[in-house]
Amino acid sequence: MAKGKAKQTSSKSHRVKTSGDIEVSTYLEIAKELGGEQPAAVEEAKPKLEREAIIVIDFGSQYSMLIARRVRECKVYCELLPPDTPWEKIAPLKPKGFILSGGPASVYEPGAPLAPSYIYESHLPVLGICYGMQVLAHQLGGQVTPGAKHEYGHAILHLSQVDSPLFTDLPPSSPVWMSHGDKVEKLPPDFTALAYTENSPFAVMSKDGKVFGLQFHPEVVHTPEGKTILKNFVYGVCGCKGNWTMSNFINDSMAKIRQQVGRGKVISALSGGVDSSVVATIIHRAIGDQLTCIFVNHGLLRREEVERTFNVFKLNMGMNIIYVDASQRFLKRLKGVTDPEVKRKVIGEEFIRVFEEEAKKIGKVDFLAQGTLYPDVIESALTTSAAAKIKTHHNVGGLPAKMTLKLLEPLRDLFKDEVRQVGLALGLPEEMVWRQPFPGPGLAIRIIGEVTEEKLEILRGADFIVMNEIKKAQLYRQLWQSFAILTDVKSVGVMGDYRTYGYLVAVRAVTSDDAMTADWSRLPYEVLARISSRIVNEVPGVNRVVYDITSKPPSTIEWE
C-alpha cells in the first residue's frame, strides 16, 4: 500500500492519478506544482447586525417550507418551528412576528395542534394561513365549521378594506389559491373581514391591523400577489428592516465559526459539490489553516471531476487538502455487488473507513464540518412519522458514527439557493456553484449491475458527452439533473460492414424543484440527436442510445 506524499499530478496535463491503493498527497503540494496562488488573507468579520426574524409555526402543511423561503426572499430571516417549541428557544431569535402555517388537522379533532400561548401573549403581529387562520379563529372565540365542502383551486379575492397595511400595492381583485376543508364560519370578537371570495365571506380577517388570517395560500405561485401580501406583513405590519443578505450572513457566520472553534482543528470532506465547497470555503476564510479538507476519490467520479475541483481550490485558495485516491479499494469492495442498496452501503462504509484513517493521521481534531442545510434540519426536527424510504440517501461523507467530534454546520440555516448565493459571494466559480446534484455513491448507481473499471470508463465517456451537449445547448442550469446511465443490456448493431454487439446507454434529463418529484425534460430533438450520435461514435462499446421519458413518480431520478 503506497502511502506518504506521492505526487498525484503531472504539471502538463494536471491529471490526478486514479489508480493504485490509497495514496495521499497534500493539496498544497499539488497547488504549488500547478502554480497555484497563496492563501487569501482571512477577512475580518464585521460587527453583527441587529437581529430580526419571523417565526413560522409549522402545523404540517406541504407548503410550510415555502413560507419560510418567501419570507427570506424579502431578506428577512425566517425559521420554521413546531407548535410545541418553548418561548425560551424563540426569544433569542428576536422575533418580529409569527406566521401560523396551514396543516392537515381540524381544530376540533382531539389532539389537533394549536398555537402556543406566547403567540397571543407576546403581542407580536400574527398571520394565520389556512389552518393557521382556523387556529386563530378557534382559540380567540370564533367558530370553525368542520368538514365543510372542500375548496381546492383558484378563487378570486375581492378586497373590501383596501387601506389595510396587508394590502399595500394590491389590486382590488386578484387570483388566489385555496386548499381547505374546514372554514371560519363566525369571526372571533373584534375581528373584521377585509376580503372575500365567492365561497368564503371571510377570506381575510384581521384584528387591530396586527393579527391576520388568510383562508388562501399566499406562499404558492398560484397566488400571484402572495409575495406582495407576505412582504406587506413582514415590512408593513411587523416592521422588519430586511437585513438578511448573503454578505451579512457570511460575516455573521465567520464570526460564529471563530467563536465556536477558537484555536481548535477542523476537518471536512470535500467532494467538489456545492455544499461541501461552500462549507470549506467559508470555514477557511474564517480560520485559515486550522481547517484540513479530506478529498476521498472513490473512483466513481465523472471525467475530470477531480481535476476540476482541484483547479477551483488551487485558483481560489491555498487550502490544506489531503487527497486520497482510494479508487482501487472501492472497486475491490464493489466486486460482484449488483444490488443498489448494497452498493450504497458498501460505498458509505468504505468512505467512512478511508476518511477515519486519514483523519487519524492529522492528529488531534476537534470539529467535523458538514454541509447540513436547512431542509435537512427541518426534516429531522419535524418528521414525526418515518416515511417509507425508497432509497437510503445517506450522504456519503456523512458523520462517521464512531468519531467523537463536535459538529460544525455553518450552512444549517440556509436553503440550497441561498447556499449558491453564498458560494458566489465567496468568489467560487459559477460552474461549481451551479453544479447539478451528483449522488454520493457516484457512477456506481448509474451502472446497472456490477461496477467494473471498464464500465466506469464507458459511462464516463457517455456522461461527458451528455454534459457537454447540454451545456452547449445552454440547458444545463434549467435542468435539475442530466446524465447517462450504463444499462446491463447489450444489443445488436451495425457499424460500417460489421455487426456489433454493444452496450445500451440511457440518457436522463429531468426538471425538478426539490427532487421529490421530477418531470422528464422535453429536450430538443437536435440535442438528443447530437448526444446519441456522439455517444455511439465516440464511446467504444456502445451501439445504442435511448432517452428516458418517465417522470418521478412513478420512476425515480437515478436508475438505482
List residues with catalytic annotation. 130, 217, 219
273 interacts with ligand XMP by CB under 6 A: no
556 interacts with ligand XMP by CB under 6 A: yes
Which range of residues in 104-112, 132-140, 235-243, 438-446 is near ligand XMP by CB under 6 A? 438-446
372 interacts with ligand XMP by CB under 6 A: no
Q: Of 159, 168, 169, 178, which is closest to residue 217 (Cα–Cα)?
A: 178
558 interacts with ligand XMP by CB under 6 A: yes
Q: Which of 228, 268, 292, 395 binds ligand XMP (CB under 6 A)?
A: 395
| Count of Cβ atoms closer than 10 Å to residue 479 Cβ | 18
To the nearest 10 degrees (0 to 180), the angle between helices 64-73 and 374-382 is 150
The residue among 31 and 346 lying less far from ligand XMP, judged by its C-beta, is 346
The residue among 107 and 278 lying less far from ligand XMP, judged by its C-beta, is 278
391 interacts with ligand XMP by CB under 6 A: yes
Omega before 553 within 30 of 0, i.e. cis: yes
d(CA 286, CA 55): 29
The residue among 113 and 442 lying less far from ligand XMP, judged by its C-beta, is 442
Q: How far is the CB of 422 from ligand XMP (least distance, A)?
A: 20
Sites for ligand XMP among residues 336-365 (CB under 6 A): 344
554 close to 518: Cβ distance less than 8 angstroms: no
**Alpha helices of 43-194 — where are they, by DSSP H?**
64-73, 87-90, 118-121, 131-139
* 3-class state of residue 262 by DSSP: coil
Q: How far is the CB of 554 from ligand XMP (least distance, A)?
A: 11
Count of residues interacting with ligand XMP (CB under 6 A): 15
Q: Which of 69, 217, 314, 552 binds ligand XMP (CB under 6 A)?
A: 552
What b/e sequence results for 510-536 when a residue is b if at least 16 CB atoms lie within 10 Å of its CB, and e otherwise? Answer: bbbeeeeebebbebeeebeebbbebbb
Sites for ligand XMP among residues 484-543 (CB under 6 A): 515
What binding mask, one character per residue, do residues 287-326 give for ligand XMP by CB under 6 A, x or -?
----------------------------------------
The residue among 70 and 343 lying less far from ligand XMP, judged by its C-beta, is 343
Q: Is the dihedral of CA 55, 61, 67, 69 positive or negative?
A: positive
Longest CA pairwise span in the chain (Å): 87
Q: How far is the CB of 452 from ligand XMP (least distance, A)?
A: 20
Please list the residues that pair with 498 across neighbouring strands. 495
422 close to 245: Cβ distance less than 8 angstroms: no
Q: Of 85, 59, 68, 80, which is closest to residue 180 (Cα–Cα)?
A: 59
Q: Of 224, 204, 223, 222, which is closest to residue 214 (Cα–Cα)?
A: 204
The residue among 236 and 398 lying less far from ligand XMP, judged by its C-beta, is 398
The residue among 147 and 437 lying less far from ligand XMP, judged by its C-beta, is 437
User: With 0-12 CB in 10 A as exposed, 13-18 as middle and 19+ as buried, what is 157?
Assistant: buried
Q: How far is the CB of 481 from ligand XMP (least distance, A)?
A: 6
H or E stretch at 354: helix 340-362
557 interacts with ligand XMP by CB under 6 A: yes
The residue among 469 and 558 lying less far from ligand XMP, judged by its C-beta, is 558
442 interacts with ligand XMP by CB under 6 A: no
Q: How far is the CB of 343 from ligand XMP (least distance, A)?
A: 9
Q: How far is the CB of 558 from ligand XMP (least distance, A)?
A: 3
| 118 half-sphere exposure, CB direction, 13 A CA radius | 16
The residue among 344 and 460 lying less far from ligand XMP, judged by its C-beta, is 344
441 interacts with ligand XMP by CB under 6 A: yes
393 interacts with ligand XMP by CB under 6 A: yes
Task: Return the C-alpha cell found at 462.
Answer: 457517455
For ligand XMP, the binding residues (CB under 6 A) are 344, 390-391, 393, 395, 437, 439-441, 481, 515, 552, 556-558
